Amino acid sequence: MRIQEAIVVEGRYDKAAVAAVADTLILETAGFGVFKDAERLALLRRLAEQRGLIVLTDSDGAGFVIRSYLKGAIPRGQVKHAYIPDVTGKERRKRAPGKEGKLGVEGMKPDVLRQAILRAGATVLDGSAPCRPAGDLTAADLFALGLSGVPEAAARRAALLRRLDLPEHMSAKAMTAALNALYTPEELDEVLKDL
């Protein structure tokens, strides 16, 4: 399902699980890493302001600490909260259950995740109604612009990220997703002309 809001999850396995059910930008908090990462928080705030944000964390204590932090850091009208049920068990990739013995986002079935996102009030889009004209920058465009795959690409990407107030350690793939989510094609053209 295509949704307008971006979704924030705790980690990469959660991101993979949510990507199977929601077609939108999905970002990670890197667990408690978001507490010390002002750039990541600034990006989440920008996305919340422009598209809205859905917070989907595990149902354990750590998940609620992260959720509470984001609830206080992002204006109320710009953030929605999706909750997964308390289910005991362990994820397949783990040898032992977590501290509280509950399944996290990554361990939920796709239908459970889909329902949690819908119950949070996600804005579902059909094929004819984009939330905002998305950029269409691709990996090939990054190469053509000298932002990947060429000498000095990392320095050029870093300069662009600084100029746009985006997290400096974003990979080329993450940067592409953020640019496409935050800028219309016209806005993106203007930004990239100056490079």
Instruction: Give tens-digit pLDDT for 61-103.
Output: 899 999 999 999 999 899 999 999 888 888 888 888 778 888 9
Question: For position 46, what pLDDT does the model report?
Answer: 93
Q: Is 88 left (phi over 0), alpha (psi -120 to 50) or beta?
A: beta
pLDDT less than 50: residues of the chain: 128-133
pLDDT of residue 135: 64
**CB-based contact 177:25 (threshold 8 Å):** yes
184: left (phi over 0), alpha (psi -120 to 50) or beta: beta
Residue 129 has what pLDDT? 47
pLDDT at 3 (0 to 100)? 94
* Residue 108 CB contacts under 8 Å (≥ 6 apart), including other chains: 17, 84, 87, 116
Rounded-to-integer distance, Cα 2 and Cα 99, Å: 34
* CA distance linking residue 18 with residue 23, whole number of Å: 9
* Percent of the chain at pLDDT exceeding 90: 51
pLDDT of residue 92: 83
- Other C-beta atoms closer than 10 Å to the C-beta of 104 total 26
Give the SS3 label for residue 6: strand
pLDDT value for 12? 94
The 8-class DSSP code of residue 133 comes to -
Q: Can you give the pLDDT at residue 165?
A: 74
